[in-house]
Structure 1
Amino acid sequence: MSSSNSIHTPPVHLGTNPFATPIRLSRAPTEDERRPYSYFPTAALSEQHVPRLRKFKSARYTGGEYEKPWTIEKNPRRKWEKIIFWGSIFVGFAIGGLICYFAYASVTNHTYCLVLDDEFKTIDKNTWNYEIQRGGFGSGTFEWTTDDPKNAYTDAEGLHIVPTLTTETTNITVDQIYDGYVLNLTTDGTCTSTDITMCSIRSNKTAGTIINPVRSARLNTKGKKTITYGKVEVVAKMPKGSWLWPAIWMMPEQDTYGPWPASGEIDIAESRGNYGDDYPSGGRDALISALHWGPVPEADAFYKTSGQHLLRRTDYTESFHTFGVEWSQNYLFTYIDSRLLQVFFIKFNANYKNMWNRGKFGSSILNHSALFDPWSQTGRANTPFDQPFYLILNVAIGSTNGFFPDGVGNKPWGDKSGTAPKEFWDSEPQWIDTWGEGATRGLTVKSVKMWKEGAC
């Protein structure tokens, strides 16, 4: 029920917006209040709330020319920026130069006495011995090493150690290589080994044993030129051909600490004649150096002291390189062309008391037995590399010791096979063309120099 004094007014709609909320007034709306508000339908009913557009006005400076003080007086910070930049470069070069100088100054430079300088006008028998054997030299290689001038000779380039097929350089026929022929270097009076198995063999088709199908050469300075500490540099070019194994290396004059590898071995430079095969340690583009050492052959720790250097876009058969070793009581390293390009470096007294501890042989069990320590009693950190060593130059063919891994490069024999030499010879058509002709299949040595540590 409404009061009689109330005035009934209809709802007022603001503008034409259908969603606008109607407003009821307690009086009749004025004319101004009846005007539509299309912009803000819920705004207060006053014209002053309607937004008005402002005329655009540019902020561009129009007052004429203005001053540019930075063109007259340069920012002083710019000067210090240049000083700091070039000064930092100078300081960097100075620090780098000091580091290089102190590194060079810290390198030990011993006094050396030259004991061998051979440019191979001939093969001097006062310096070199021929090793004549056929038993694989403990590595299961397939060659028969000789003193044949076809396998080792000199010319204007130097010394050549060249492998040849046995059928090319002897009267032994292909059939005799396979069956019915006896090779006895002891009877011939030429074998340089006291082990009969290294000197003789009989070919037998049933057993699969064959006469060595390839002949090569192996020269050494044992008993003639040896050093205990010093340097060796050999300028040489490696051979080209699948399954060729050239080596420049050193062995101890005496087995002071026991048979190999207890008395050590120093490999200055080894390579493979193979090209393009995916060997873990490279083909003929790779140079390998290592020390072999261990109380027994099964515990040879060469992998702890080895290195390699790869060439890009060429290989070690294309040109001569200097292969060197520097050896003292405190360190040993091998290098190529310069002492700065080291293949591997070992410091004998670093973090280890001796080589026995370096190899961790004391914690090793072999064939259910602990290993015997042949070195520590000397009290020297570098034993067994503390005795006279002599130099060896040779080209081997194949092997069964893992130097050519099974299954790589279409290798035609297996290391565990009892007839590996026969399997190699059966595949002769696959590899003979890779050998090339003449000296390219051989190790070419331009010169050998050997120094002993100390004054002459």
Structure 2
Amino acid sequence: MDPYHASSTVTTPARAESPDAEAITPLPERQPNPFLSYSNSPYASNLQSARGSSTGVNSLRPRYFQSRRINKAEVERPWLDKKNRDPREKWVWILPLIGLGLGIAMAGFLVYDGLKTVTSHVYCPVLDADFTAGATLDPKIWQQEIETGGFGNGQFEITTDDGENAFVKDGLLQIHPTLQDSKLIDTNNVINLTSSHQCTSPVVSNCVAATNTTNGTIVNPVKSARINTSPGAKIKYGRVEVVAQLPAGDWLWPAIWMLPVNETYGPWPASGEIDIMESRGNNYSYPDGGNNIVGSTLHYGPDPADDGWWTNVVKRHAMLTTYSAGYHTFGVEWSEKYIFTYIDTRLLQVIYTEFNVPFWNRGQFPPSNQNGTRLVNPWTGPGTSDATPFDQDFYLIINVAVGANNGWFPDGVASKPWVDKSLTAARDFWNAQDQWYPTWQAGGATMNIKSVKMWQQKGYNGC
């Protein structure tokens, strides 16, 4: 029997056989359970009838609360009550719509303002190399530079053309640095590229290197490659796109850049330099940016000590990855009115420079150089413009450098194993190979290039 619903008094017959039998105390009356309801009648009446009938107890059937459908007419709809509506409620909708409209208008203006400075030019193809047709670089288009000089930056590599450091494989152009022959470093030796007529630099000092075990100088401790399109591809205004995967490894310096065919306005940097992409092979933890950052720069100035690069340099971070993890398109678009570099799409610009101010004014050069010699504007005279010196034919260069003594890798940062001004910088770098060479092996240390394309803007160079 359910003790909750039984009668509140229980009667027990007297025990005749035992005069000392105890009287049994009745059970206390149970309180109604407020969480039960009954289907036949309200709770109180059911309970009362159950107490008066033995069958009523069994007929009670408890059930739990159930939801009830609300009549649509009973639902309050204050937004339809025009008579009692607060007139201020309309601003709850109007203000967000105004903000949305202003946002769309502002976005449209920014897109228009960005596109109006970029003209859709007509181009003629100059170079379309995808490296799938052959196993070698076409010498009619490409030159493999051979020198020891490090292009004035004190780089540690010697550039070769022996097929070890630049080669075509599996449809890719690969630039891969390797270690120098230790015999050339451990004993007195001389590398003289002029004697074999191999050197591609007109500067003799860029063609000779020596190991002197007495003073600690050594030949270039690393071999790598630098290739350019000077034999067969140049443009004056146009576009360049290089699809490449950058190398990973400490103290590597990959670059895609352009130099003028002729030094029309004087030696570097007076005739300009266009750096489409520069990076470092160190990982993302490198303070100045490793292979997770690339930069673009314009170099120009009356002499090497007075270079206005700092007015046109921008870095771009990779999005949750590195530029060594996959392939990216590194490009430049250049016209008589502007120049900009970009990554993957023309909408993701790195630098944008409009040719609306003479570069002499843009560079804010001092009256004289460090030696007290008066600086003279090299970009004046007939035919010059606000685009000068970037108004002449340029060719493309792709290379992987190693180290430097020009500050690209600052002293004392990330356990750098050499000091720029040290006469034994190259040997110090070589002696620390147990630190950096494993990072080359782990990362691949190779720049893989899928394609190189160049276009000439119509109206120039016979286009």
**TM-score interval for Structure 1 and Structure 2 normalised by the shorter chain:** 0.7 to 0.9
Match of 1:260 among 254, 268, 293: 268
Helix, strand or coil for the counterpart of 1:377? coil
CA contact (8 A) 2:284 2:292 kept: no
- Which residue is 1:92 aligned to? 102
104 and 418 in structure 1: CA distance in 2 versus 1, 3 angstrom threshold: closer
Structure 1 counterpart of 2:119: 108
Conserved? CA contact 2:283–2:291, under 8 Å: yes
Cα-to-partner distance string for 1:341-366 (whole Å, 9 max, x where unaligned)? 111111121xx3x1111112253443
> Which one-letter code corresponds to 1:452 in the other structure?
Q
Distance 1:127 1:202 in 2: 32
* Pair 1:90–1:316, CA change in 2 (3 A): closer
* Counterpart among 373, 376, 382 of residue 377 in structure 2: 373
Work out whether residues 139 and 231 of structure 2, in 8 Å CA contact, stay in contact via their aligned partners in 1.
Answer: no
Please report how far the alpha carbon of residue 193 of structure 1 lies from its aligned counterpart in structure 2 after TM superposition: 1.7
**Displacement of 1:253:** 0.3
- Displacement after TM superposition at 1:312 (Å): 4.1
Which AA in structure 2 matches 1:88?
Answer: I
1:370 counterpart SS class: coil
Residue 303 of structure 2: which of 288, 296, 301 is its match?
A: 296
Instruction: Give the partner amino acid of 2:446.
Output: G
Tell me if structure 2 keeps the 8 A contact 1:356–1:376.
no
Within a 5 Å distance, the mapping from 1:265-280 to structure 2 comes to 265-280=273-288
CA distance in structure 2 between the aligned counterparts of 1:87 and 1:145, rounded to whole angstroms: 62
- Which residue in the other structure is 2:367 paired with? 363
| Match in the other structure for 1:58 | none
CA contact (8 A) 2:167 2:173 kept: yes
Paired position in structure 1 for 2:340: 333
Q: With the length of structure 2 as denominator, give the TM-score of the two structures.
A: 0.77
Match of 1:130 among 144, 150, 171: 144
Runs in 1 of length 4+ with deviation above 4 angstroms? 68-72
* CA distance, structure 2, for counterparts of residue 433 and residue 101 of structure 1: 46
Q: Give, in whole Å, the separation in 2 of the partners of 1:268 and 1:403.
A: 16
Question: Take 2:257 and 2:158, find their aligned partners in 1: how far apart are those partners?
Answer: 19
Residue of structure 1 in register with 2:453 after alignment: 449
- State the match for 1:235 in structure 2: 243
Asked if 2 retains the 8 angstrom alpha-carbon contact of 1:240 and 1:440, the reply is yes
Q: Offset of 1:262 from its aligned partner? A: 0.8
In the alignment, does 2:188 pair up with 1:180?
Answer: yes
Note the residue ranges of structure 1 that are not aligned, 5 or more in a row.
1-67, 168-173
Match for residue 218 of structure 1 among 218, 221, 226: 226
| CA deviation string 1:166-220 (max 9, x = no partner) | 22xxxxxx24313222212222232112222211223110121212121111110
Question: Which of 345, 354, 370 pairs up with 2:352?
Answer: 345
Structure 2 residue runs of 5 or longer lacking an equivalent are: 1-75
When structure 1 is superposed on structure 2, of 227-236 and 90-99 the one drifting more is 90-99
Letter of the aligned partner of 1:370 in structure 2?
Answer: R
The aligned counterpart of 1:10 is none
What's the secondary structure of 2:195's corresponding residue? helix
- Corresponding position of 2:26: none
- The question of whether the paired residues in 2 share the 8 Å contact of 1:334 and 1:342 is answered with yes
Structure 2 distance, partners of 1:319, 1:330, is 33
Shift of 1:373: 1.4
Code of the residue aligned with 1:451 in structure 2: it is W
Letter in 1 for 2:148: R
Instruction: Work out the CA distance in 1 between the residues paired with 2:96 and 2:319.
Output: 36
Amino acid at match of 1:436: Q
Partner of 1:406: 411
- Taking the aligned partners of 2:164 and 2:77, their CA distance within structure 1 comes to 90
* Other-structure match for 2:436: 431
> CA 1:445 to 1:92, structure 2 compared with 1: closer, same or farther past 3 Å?
same
1:392 aligns with 2:414: no
1:434 positional shift:
0.4
Seq. identity, %: 46
CA contact under 8 A between 2:246 and 2:254: conserved in structure 1?
A: yes
The structure whose Rg is larger is 1
- Counting matched residue pairs gives 378
Q: 1: distance between equivalents of 2:198 and 2:232?
A: 20
User: Paired residue for 2:11?
Assistant: none
Shift of 1:277: 4.3
Q: Partners in 1 of 2:412 and 2:111 — Cα distance?
A: 48
1:103 is matched by which residue type in structure 2? D
CA 362–410 in structure 1, closer or farther in 2 if over 3 Å, else same: closer
Output the CA distance in 2 between the equivalents of 1:93 and 1:357: 37
What's the counterpart of residue 383 of structure 1? 388
Out of 313, 322, 338, the position equivalent to 2:329 is 322
The question of 1:145 aligning with 2:145 is answered no
CA contact (8 A) 1:286 1:315 kept: yes
AA of the residue aligned to 1:316: Y
Tell me the equivalent position of 1:204: 212
Contact 2:305–2:369 (8 Å) recurs in 1:
no
Deviates further, 185-194 or 78-87: 78-87
- Residue aligning to 1:246: 254
Task: Give the conservation status (yes or no) of the 8 Å contact 2:140–2:231.
Answer: no
Q: What do the CA deviations read for 1:48-100 (whole angstroms, capped 9, x no partner)?
A: xxxxxxxxxxxxxxxxxxxx997953416266335524542553355245425
Write the distance in 1 (CA, Å) between the matches of 2:189 and 2:314. 43
Name the structure 2 match of 1:417. Answer: 422
Is the deviation greater in 94-103 or in 258-267? 94-103
Q: Cα deviation per residue 1:101-120 (whole Å; 9 max; x = unaligned)? A: 53355132111111111101
| Contact 1:223 1:253 (8 Å CA) reproduced | no
Residues 414/88 of structure 1: CA separation in 2 closer, same or farther (3 Å cut): same
Change (3 A) 1:105 1:242: closer
1:395-429 deviation line (CA, Å, top 9, x unaligned):
01100111011111111111111121111111111
Tell me if structure 1 keeps the 8 A contact 2:279–2:290: yes
RMSD: 2.2
Distance 2:409 2:111 in 1: 42
Deviations 1:202-253 (A, max 9, x none): 3110121212121111110113210110110100010010111100000010
Is 1:286 paired with 2:293? yes
Cα 1:84–1:185 change in 2 (3 A) is same
> Quick check: 1:178–1:208 contact (8 Å CA) kept in 2?
no
